[in-house]
Structure 1
């Protein structure tokens, strides 16, 4: 599966300013440094109230880092079925590798390669506890979008018939973030062909999920 991951240069530039490899490393280092501060505070906390407050801060840090720094750097990176690049806009990235790479780079301890190459539902179950997972079979996309909106603002991993990515519900609007032809993009949910045409959708909630957030904060491994 490493066939085309880093062997070709991206064909052209996306509209946003391209993040260099050095800048991307600095972004990841900054996320880790801020996470370490919160981890130290959590370990030193003497009450459950303090710990819960720190977990809330960790969620804000994680969400901002993943969406506004890590994923933002990947927009425009070209898709390829065998794409495995680890550097945004330098090479090609498949849908599964996009999900596992950005999570890893947001300091989630997981097996990037293994999880990228297995069924998306299995990948989601590795990271998310079953009580935060929902399955939607043969549900019209408008009903699915409505269900996500009803659940409120949150960030999800999502698996489709033959695809994977992230679903973001923010201020009552649903977005699909994924790597597809021509490249990594963020689409309005109702306008995404891949999201709407799928007969099967499984979501795993990353935010509003204190169990995931505590494991992320403490640097625990999400084992296969």
Structure 2
């Protein structure tokens, strides 16, 4: 697989009007979301530090995993939708709809993780690293790396649905994004270089980026499903790349 941060450099830059048409939430509203995430992480972290036995710690980690995934899907993703995709020095946004900024696919993934309270050793290094390197950093267990060869979107969606409801990262040819599985519904959320060239939430089965990557295949890994990542989130420790 190629680097996940290129986001198809052969594509044209996103049109500024595309982001304007998305009616983004005010910056103050997203700042409140970030504050709420920080407060909840601190609350759970305090419980985790006070836990006197492994059973209690395990319960807090499970609560943290659920909170993280729910926050990404219900709070962070919607705020980013419509943000213009782009490449170059202005494509490194860490907040949605920042004036004069666009976001490349790798920077979108890194920003979303940090927006939901997960500290990264370096947002820039995560954003620029090959997709597979990012995925192995977040889910290092060999059993968590799911490799799909040259299959059509319908087959890929069915295979990912079979992994169960949750949040995943998908590594494509020169692209990276998130996959959300909910009751058999499989959606790709990414800074898209296709279509309107904005941050997009679309059915995975019909996404052009999926079709583009078919010759090289796909890597899929879960996000925040294991004790290791939950522990790092709770302690505010950075995830090494």
Among 102, 114, 118, the alignment partner of 1:104 is 114
| 1:94 CA drift (Å) | 0.6
Match of 2:81 in 1: 75
Among 176, 188, 191, the alignment partner of 2:206 is 191
User: Which structure exhibits the higher relative contact order, with contacts defined as CA atoms closer than 8 Å and separated by 6 or more residues?
Assistant: 2
Contact 1:128 1:204 (8 Å CA) reproduced: yes
1:210 and 1:196, CA in 2 relative to 1: closer, same or farther beyond 3 A?
farther
CA distance in 1, matches of 2:37, 2:186: 26
| 1:154 CA drift (Å) | 1.4
Output the TM-score relative to the length of structure 2: 0.83
Contact 2:132 2:171 (8 Å CA) reproduced: yes
The alignment covers a number of residue pairs equal to 217
1:160-185 deviation digits (Å, cap 9, x = unpaired): 01110001111111100000142001
- SS for the counterpart of 1:151 is coil
Contact 2:156 2:205 (8 Å CA) reproduced: no
Output the TM-score relative to the length of structure 1: 0.89
CA RMSD of aligned residues (A): 2.0
Contact 1:10 1:89 (8 Å CA) reproduced: no
Query: Structure 1: where are the runs of 5+ without partners?
Result: 2-7
Query: Structure 2: where are the runs of 5+ without partners?
Result: 6-13
Instruction: Tell me if 1:133 matches 2:148.
Output: no
1:141 and 1:66, CA in 2 relative to 1: closer, same or farther beyond 3 A?
same
- SS for the counterpart of 1:43 is helix
- Map residues 61-210 of structure 1 onto 2, 5 A cutoff: 61-82=67-88, 83-90=91-98, 91-110=101-120, 111-131=122-142, 132-181=144-193, 182-198=197-213, 199-210=216-227
Contact 1:35 1:61 (8 Å CA) reproduced: no
